[in-house]
Chains A and B, each alone.
Chain A
């Protein structure tokens, strides 16, 4: 059930001077209330709307070969260079399950608190499309590998890192399935070009129940999932390379009434766009319903340039996928320590308990450890984990300086990070290394310079001219004067100067 709450909508509505004037499409923000629930403003202001957002996420499994064949998995390889006979659906070829993909799915299921199904099944999902050579996709429709999990994620309220609230979304299931190839439509020559490199790559489809209620929640949930997948190594989850694809299911209804008709939104290429797409669609549905229209159970594509969703051309009418068990793959049987037969060859089986033991620290655990170890705020730990390499950078600085971590974090998050963001740099690309920063902070800690001076030095360091903080301090004469006598002389000189005016 959506966790949005009423109440705040009125405030949002009354914010506009006078009455409810409809904001331009796509720009009307969805306000989040104090508890993190989204409550969009309705035009009439009479009955509040409760948006409901569920997600279907496809994560490409990080493995050296595909789910059912031995061809390599690689991004941006020459077209059709990574296609085995099976991938091309040559007649007589048969699927052979990739063990690594199964392990990746089990890891992910465990990390998401799912029950792992010791017996899961494979099915064929039929439809005709140029990028689906066999005319069917092998997936797990009847009994997927993992079910009934949960994902906790945090949202900041008021857009400041001051207050964070934790929410949970239920994971319905995780299923293993094949990725399709790619088709490029060449309209000038009226032809479609098909690249099957991606056909057959292993995917984990993670289905999140409609427990979210706005774009921000969806984005935060996906971001956390991304971090988890990257930590596990089960998927690199880079959205820009198509390793993580998100489809959003959106509907709205009045509290207490049954759920409304939902639409599926596809073609979302980044987490930022996800939030935008979801919010836009919520607004669109509200406006549509309030003006007496109806919502069609359709699939819509997100147009990132226009910032809106549009109906997708080739998804007219409901498809009957004619699901059928995949006859060439026996049921997938997984074992745990208890059920593992004594004489079983360990190479041939996947042991859930073994995988569980080997799970790395999940982001939530990592964050808690950072807070405990360094005394930083939870919000800080989020930012540290969110930026690739930032945690490492921070810890390196802490190691090399006497300054307390609680103070170091300020320099990391405020100065370092904002600079990197301004110049669109990653932590790895930072011209200021952890060594240099630690050096600088040591000067500050020893009271050889003031904090204002430190900021000036940092500004110089950004230029990356190879000078050390000490050199810059000397150059710009930024040293703090420690000598009492010298200070008295200067003060006297200033006072004398004043008197002369």
Chain B
């Protein structure tokens, strides 16, 4: 929508940019952004404006304000991964996906907040503090929350965004940008998307370049796309997907960007409902919603069948072993020697390394490094790492079998419940939370499959709940087509954000929620 508006001149890129920047200021309490690149964004907006005036926009994304998770390298802009280790680190190059967005004329507003090094499911464990879910300040949530006499209630009652791409999800949800990049290793894009009521797409592994994405687990990471509607996600996907010679794990096949058809007839579809995703701890609310969604498809003529992915229950431990092993390896480069934080300790190289890493990493990161190194020890390698790889193969095969049996798309919940209040969330440690929250999203990363969260309805507490669709490898078009159909059916409500605005134009934002 806003793209059309730009084209028609109803709004200019600079106006758009300024509005977003101002809204970012108004919503600072959300702590969604770590760095706001005001100057460069305005310059980019100006350039875009020139192009529109000439009648030569680069594409649909020209002039569209976007945000990028702070674990993507952005040239000339600080990239911290929400860690002391990289505080003050100015990337000398753009990640391929960032470059692609810029090449399309997108306006980079800033870098969003996350769990340190993308480790976490709440976006609460970064050095810049937790991200607040914009829905905490929505009328919908406030109406439903138990009124408290304490005026500080609002302060302490806010809910988490989910993680680890919480900042990006919050940015999109609060209208400060039209699309954001996240990353997804175990659910880090889909989880916050579900909690913040936005679309979160995890593409097939190998479709989008990881060059410039600071890795968590190289064999599972993918750049994630967060937008307010499925069509927007398709547009962003179209500009990002494709082989990158700088990333040897991207596939060579030519990728053709697509427009999503408006599906009217779902009778040829076969939707699979994996019974193992009825996980312990799944809230009855979400269970009911899942059921309702299945019925929706059934009533529209689609074939809805129960399927089984028997190894789902092992995915958590398997993920734990493989993730920590890769983390231990990937974090080995942070020694303070070439870049990043370096401790003042200089008695010896080794003591400098140890102090640097102790000072630079939080508990979560250090814990995973220790675990990972343990699993990689010669005497443990066979029993842990190799075993986990084998289990991973079994998990991936579960999906292959199901898809081969005629199922087109799987429908599952994305999260076990709606967003919990921060005060409650931090009662458990990061490891426990991750193990709980990742359970519904992780397997897709293990198998490298594309998956998407579509905001479905509001919970009893007035907070978003989403459902997840998992598709076949590299069949994003089919996946998004089905997701779009579903989105049109459920008509998820727009957030009614109550924010002390800097300017009155903020309200107008809500009218142009999507850009495509």
**Is there an interface contact between A90 and B339, defined as CB atoms closer than 8 Å?**
yes
**Is there an interface contact between B248 and A97, defined as CB atoms closer than 8 Å?**
yes
Residues from chain A with Cβ under 8 Å of B232 in the complex: none
**Is there an interface contact between B211 and A92, defined as CB atoms closer than 8 Å?**
yes
The minimal Cβ–Cβ distance linking B68 to chain A, given in whole angstroms, is 12
- Please encode chain A, from 106 to 136, with 1 for each CB lying within 8 Å of some chain B CB and 0 for all others: 0000000000000000001010101001111
**Is there an interface contact between A322 and B373, defined as CB atoms closer than 8 Å?**
yes
**Is there an interface contact between B211 and A93, defined as CB atoms closer than 8 Å?**
yes
- Please encode chain B, from 78 to 97, with 1 for each CB lying within 8 Å of some chain A CB and 0 for all others: 01010000100001110100
Task: State whether the Cβ of A292 lies closer than 8 Å to any Cβ in chain B.
Answer: no
**CB within 8 Å of A: which of B279-320?**
none
Residues from chain B with Cβ under 8 Å of A130 in the complex: 337, 349
Q: Which of A88, A89, A192, A327 contacts B219 (CB 8 A)?
A: A327
Residue of B nearest to A95 (CB): B248
- Please encode chain A, from 38 to 57, with 1 for each CB lying within 8 Å of some chain B CB and 0 for all others: 00000000000000000000
The minimal Cβ–Cβ distance linking A313 to chain B, given in whole angstroms, is 13
**Is there an interface contact between A92 and B329, defined as CB atoms closer than 8 Å?**
no
The minimal Cβ–Cβ distance linking A391 to chain B, given in whole angstroms, is 43
**Is there an interface contact between B376 and A323, defined as CB atoms closer than 8 Å?**
yes
Q: Which of B72, B335, B381 contacts A323 (CB 8 A)?
A: B381
The minimal Cβ–Cβ distance linking B380 to chain A, given in whole angstroms, is 10
**CB within 8 Å of B: which of A318-363?**
320, 322-324, 327-330
Q: How many A-B pairs with Cβ below 8 Å?
A: 96
A330 in contact with B249 given A92-B95, A192-B349 (CB within 8 Å) = yes
Residue of B nearest to A83 (CB): B338
Q: Which of A85, A94, A135 contacts B248 (CB 8 A)?
A: A94
- The CA of A320 and the CA of B374, in the complex, are separated in Å by 11
**Is there an interface contact between B338 and A94, defined as CB atoms closer than 8 Å?**
no
Task: State whether the Cβ of B333 lies closer than 8 Å to any Cβ in chain A.
Answer: yes
**Is there an interface contact between B339 and A328, defined as CB atoms closer than 8 Å?**
no
Q: Which of the listed residues B95, B210, B333 has the most CB atoms from chain A within 10 Å of its own CB?
A: B333
The minimal Cβ–Cβ distance linking A156 to chain B, given in whole angstroms, is 44
Task: State whether the Cβ of A194 lies closer than 8 Å to any Cβ in chain B.
Answer: yes
**Is there an interface contact between B333 and A327, defined as CB atoms closer than 8 Å?**
no
- The CA of A329 and the CA of B249, in the complex, are separated in Å by 7
Task: State whether the Cβ of A18 lies closer than 8 Å to any Cβ in chain B.
Answer: no
The minimal Cβ–Cβ distance linking B339 to chain A, given in whole angstroms, is 6
Chain A interface residue count, Cβ-Cβ cutoff 8 angstroms: 30
Q: Is the interface of A mostly helix, strand, loop or mixed?
A: loop
**Is there an interface contact between A322 and B248, defined as CB atoms closer than 8 Å?**
no
**Is there an interface contact between A134 and B332, defined as CB atoms closer than 8 Å?**
yes
Task: State whether the Cβ of A91 lies closer than 8 Å to any Cβ in chain B.
Answer: yes
**Is there an interface contact between A136 and B248, defined as CB atoms closer than 8 Å?**
no
Residues from chain B with Cβ under 8 Å of A329 in the complex: 248
**Is there an interface contact between B73 and A91, defined as CB atoms closer than 8 Å?**
yes
Residue of B nearest to A183 (CB): B349
- The CA of A323 and the CA of B247, in the complex, are separated in Å by 22
Q: Which of B215, B219, B350 contacts A92 (CB 8 A)?
A: B215
- The CA of A135 and the CA of B338, in the complex, are separated in Å by 12
Q: Is the interface of B mostly helix, strand, loop or mixed?
A: loop
The minimal Cβ–Cβ distance linking B330 to chain A, given in whole angstroms, is 8
- The CA of A232 and the CA of B373, in the complex, are separated in Å by 41
**Is there an interface contact between A94 and B247, defined as CB atoms closer than 8 Å?**
yes
Task: State whether the Cβ of A96 lies closer than 8 Å to any Cβ in chain B.
Answer: yes
A124 in contact with B333 given A92-B215, A323-B381 (CB within 8 Å) = no
Q: Which of the listed residues A88, A93, A330 has the most CB atoms from chain B within 10 Å of its own CB?
A: A93
- The CA of A272 and the CA of B17, in the complex, are separated in Å by 71
Task: State whether the Cβ of B62 lies closer than 8 Å to any Cβ in chain A.
Answer: no
- Please encode chain B, from 238 to 280, with 1 for each CB lying within 8 Å of some chain A CB and 0 for all others: 0000000111110000000000000000000000000000000
**Is there an interface contact between B218 and A328, defined as CB atoms closer than 8 Å?**
yes
Residues from chain A with Cβ under 8 Å of B219 in the complex: 327
- The CA of A311 and the CA of B303, in the complex, are separated in Å by 73
**CB within 8 Å of A: which of B350-383?**
350, 353, 373, 376-378, 381
**CB within 8 Å of A: which of B180-217?**
210-215, 217
- The CA of A323 and the CA of B385, in the complex, are separated in Å by 10
Q: Which of A85, A128, A136, A320 contacts B329 (CB 8 A)?
A: A136
Residues from chain A with Cβ under 8 Å of B378 in the complex: 320, 322-323
**Is there an interface contact between A94 and B335, defined as CB atoms closer than 8 Å?**
no
Residues from chain B with Cβ under 8 Å of A134 in the complex: 332-333
- The CA of A346 and the CA of B371, in the complex, are separated in Å by 44
The minimal Cβ–Cβ distance linking A244 to chain B, given in whole angstroms, is 28
A324 in contact with B215 given A90-B92, A94-B210, A194-B337 (CB within 8 Å) = no
**Is there an interface contact between A126 and B376, defined as CB atoms closer than 8 Å?**
yes
- The CA of A91 and the CA of B334, in the complex, are separated in Å by 9
Task: State whether the Cβ of B408 lies closer than 8 Å to any Cβ in chain A.
Answer: no
Task: State whether the Cβ of B326 lies closer than 8 Å to any Cβ in chain A.
Answer: yes
- The CA of A196 and the CA of B333, in the complex, are separated in Å by 14
A133 in contact with B328 given A322-B376, A324-B376 (CB within 8 Å) = no
A85 in contact with B92 given A96-B246, A133-B333 (CB within 8 Å) = yes
Residues from chain B with Cβ under 8 Å of A89 in the complex: 333, 338
**Is there an interface contact between A320 and B92, defined as CB atoms closer than 8 Å?**
no
The minimal Cβ–Cβ distance linking A192 to chain B, given in whole angstroms, is 6
**Is there an interface contact between B377 and A322, defined as CB atoms closer than 8 Å?**
yes
Task: State whether the Cβ of B131 lies closer than 8 Å to any Cβ in chain A.
Answer: no
**Is there an interface contact between A327 and B326, defined as CB atoms closer than 8 Å?**
yes
The minimal Cβ–Cβ distance linking A197 to chain B, given in whole angstroms, is 14
Residues from chain A with Cβ under 8 Å of B30 in the complex: none
Residues from chain B with Cβ under 8 Å of A97 in the complex: 248
Task: State whether the Cβ of B233 lies closer than 8 Å to any Cβ in chain A.
Answer: no
- The CA of A89 and the CA of B350, in the complex, are separated in Å by 18
Residues from chain A with Cβ under 8 Å of B248 in the complex: 94-97, 328-330
**Is there an interface contact between B249 and A324, defined as CB atoms closer than 8 Å?**
no
**Is there an interface contact between B376 and A88, defined as CB atoms closer than 8 Å?**
no
**CB within 8 Å of A: which of B339-353?**
339, 349-350, 353
Residues from chain B with Cβ under 8 Å of A192 in the complex: 349
A92 in contact with B214 given A126-B332, A134-B332 (CB within 8 Å) = yes
- By a beta-carbon cutoff of 8 Å, the part of chain A in contact with chain B is 85, 88-97, 124, 126, 128, 130, 133-136, 192, 194, 196, 320, 322-324, 327-330
| CB-based closest 9 A-B pairs | A135-B332, A322-B376, A327-B218, A327-B219, A89-B333, A91-B214, A92-B212, A134-B333, A92-B73
Q: Give 5 new A-B contacts, CB below 8 A, not counting A89-B338, A91-B214.
A: A92-B214, A126-B332, A133-B335, A133-B338, A322-B378
Residue contacts A-B, CB under 8 angstroms, 19 given: A85-B92, A89-B333, A90-B92, A92-B95, A92-B214, A94-B210, A94-B249, A95-B248, A96-B245, A97-B248, A126-B332, A128-B353, A133-B333, A135-B331, A194-B337, A323-B381, A324-B326, A324-B385, A328-B249
